[in-house]
Structure 1
């Protein structure tokens, strides 16, 4: 009886023996998506392995708003004591009504003509039907018992300017905003902007210098996110998002994300230094901007891009094949946490080699002992 009483008291006091909180002082997440060969068996195997390697949670993409797949993946995550974020790209959709798509400054619909790559069929975030669709679909995912968070991705406009490290890949020099990647100039956006500011944006020779037009589009994205967040919170679930770094230095300029104004529960900025032709030390600088921007109101999980074929990194031309070497893992984590991040997120766990995992384990132990 005395033993039972002691157990009850210690649990009530939140002593670690009865707590679900991790022993680590930093939380490690991963972004991962299903592949063509993915099965429930492989998901069970991978989630178990990644938990053993120290992951606290997983942001998992099953290919959209698929309730059945998110249900089994979330269940497997919980069986392995992993927090589950249902990772779903918001604005990317190839099969919607053709009137739902964003229009660039040249008057071209993203349904018919795409910037950069064929899959860049992005919707207009100011379209009422798009907003209703996204709110409803994310709400369905939030209804899944084992989903802890819905995780927003591509909750933005097309990159009006690509990250500097991608220019050569696409044969571009992007020193300014070009019409074919500048969205959205649909009739509703133009009409709403004029009603708000009195400005006819189609009559402006260089819309990129119109600060009111920039702010209008920041606010469009913020409004959409906050409507989704309200619906998800009403279901008793939380919401997180993968965002561009900044927001002032990159996210606002590149994809119109003023994400520090979003009413969500956690941010996962994609601090992929190679994409910006920056060294590992840059991760600390941009993370400091990010943590400062939210004033401690929401946790920041610094997104780290992993180089899977790291021994051949110098020979790989495509920057999307670059990323952190094992020898850079500790510094990337140190820089992120010193700048105020609550943890990190790996893109992706499957890109991690044995050498990466060893360095991650050492870095976690270092911070846990402090």
Structure 2
């Protein structure tokens, strides 16, 4: 009797052990499947085949509910991504990023880069600023080119560069941001867009000394150490290719450092640039087709250049051709205050037809209901 009881007990224990193992297996398998589903769902998040971006500036005066209302409005009207200018303030960016993402928008941290108007840290260091061939410094209020907010830091000054990159990193550290977006990543306009010249009563048929930068000590000394000649003593520095190329490379290397920095934080680097590379080179020392950058948003504001609407297609295609073989995406920038609804519709189509991956609207809260309707309809 005792052996029989023990045998039955052993059988019961084996059954319990078997069912326990079965339950563990099922539980683990369910978790694996659940994980697989989650990963599968994540991988199936569909990136828009043609992205719609919107540049906006934010401050601390608006409430969270006001921001949310605006972000919801953008999303409901077809916008996929927002480029948010917080004045390079990571605290403000941390506040608004979750609000934009909750509305279904991708967030990009837009910052002024070499042009740093009102930068309280930089303004403590006059030696950080660019200087013109005529000896005028962007530090001095009455010597700045064109407008008072043109306060350009020299990418050749090690501490100025370090400061700029610290701002880039501060934005890259914010959770939820897709890219840090560099604006004013260039030198001051040696040539203004032709449509803007009458505003300043200017003729620019050559590189004028007041608008040719950077003759600061840091820049000149760095150039001389490489090329053993002084740009301040050149009879015609505009035709010295080493001097021009030096400045192109100073911006290029700054972009490369920013790229490496943001990628360490698993973010991308994007940039607002002049319409196409050859034009950017000529006007502002910016050869962006040679940059290490994930996305470029050329500001193809045709009316600034006294061009016709179809120039949007031309400039888009030129940039696409110059980027051939590179992984850099191009998204055409449009200046909406000067576009009628019909023109906006045509501009979007020209960007699509000429190879752009999307369009970015410089709106900053000025988009009309009619323009929003065009954007929304163009996505359907």
Is the TM-score greater than 0.5?
Answer: yes
Picking from 337, 355, 359, the partner of 2:370 is 355
Q: Any gaps of 5 or more consecutive residues in structure 1?
A: 308-322, 366-370
CA distance in structure 2 between the partners assigned to 1:288 and 1:258 by the alignment: 16
Residue in 2 aligned with 1:58?
82
Q: Runs of 5+ in structure 2 lacking a partner?
A: 1-25
Instruction: Identify the match of residue 144 of structure 1 among 174, 188, 212.
Output: 174
Structure 2 counterpart of 1:188? 218
1-structure distance, mates of 2:54, 2:83: 6
Match of 1:301 in 2: 331
CA distance in 1, matches of 2:204, 2:193: 9
Pair 1:272-2:297 in alignment:
no
Residue equivalent to 1:312 = none
- How many residues are aligned here? 344
Secondary structure in structure 2 of the residue aligned to 1:116? coil
SS of 1:21's equivalent in the other structure is: coil
Aligned to 2:135: 107
Aligned partner of 2:45 among 5, 17, 20: 20
Task: Report the CA distance between 1:21 and its aligned residue.
Answer: 1.7
Give distance in 1, aligned partners of 2:197 and 2:275.
18
Contact 1:242–1:268 (8 Å) recurs in 2:
yes
Alignment match of 1:209 (pick from 239, 252, 257)? 239
2:106 maps to 83
Kept after mapping to 2: 8 A contact 1:50/1:349: no
The RMSD of aligned alpha carbons is 2.3
Which one of 121, 126, 139 corresponds to residue 156 of structure 2? Answer: 126
Corresponding residue of 1:68: 91
For residues 64 and 335 of structure 2, the distance between their equivalents in structure 1, rounded to whole angstroms, comes to: 26
CA drift at 1:66: 1.0
Matched, 1:336 2:360: no
Aligned runs of 1:147-226 on 2, under 5 Å?
147-226=177-256
Counterpart-to-counterpart distance in 1, 2:262 and 2:251: 17
TM-score, normalisation: structure 1: 0.87
Offset of 1:283 from its aligned partner? 0.4
Q: Aligned in 2, Cα 1:234/1:11: closer, same or farther, shift over 3 Å?
A: closer
Larger Rg: 2
Kindly indicate whether the alpha-carbon contact (under 8 Å) linking 2:131 and 2:213 is maintained by their aligned counterparts in 1.
Answer: yes
More helix by share: 2
State yes or no: 1:98 paired with 2:126: yes
Deviations along 1:101-153, whole A, 9 cap, x unmatched? Answer: 00110112111110001111111111100111111221121111121111111
SS in 2 for 1:351: coil
TM-score, L = length of structure 2:
0.85
**Equivalent residue for 2:287?**
258
How far the C-alpha of 1:39 sits from its partner, in A, is 3.1
Q: 1:349 to 1:359 in 2, by over 3 A?
A: farther
Give deviations 1:155-211, integer Å, cap 9, x for gaps.
111111100110011111111111111110012221222222233211211211112
Q: Does structure 2 retain, via aligned residues, the 8 Å contact 1:87–1:150?
A: yes
Q: Does 1:291 align with 2:316?
A: no
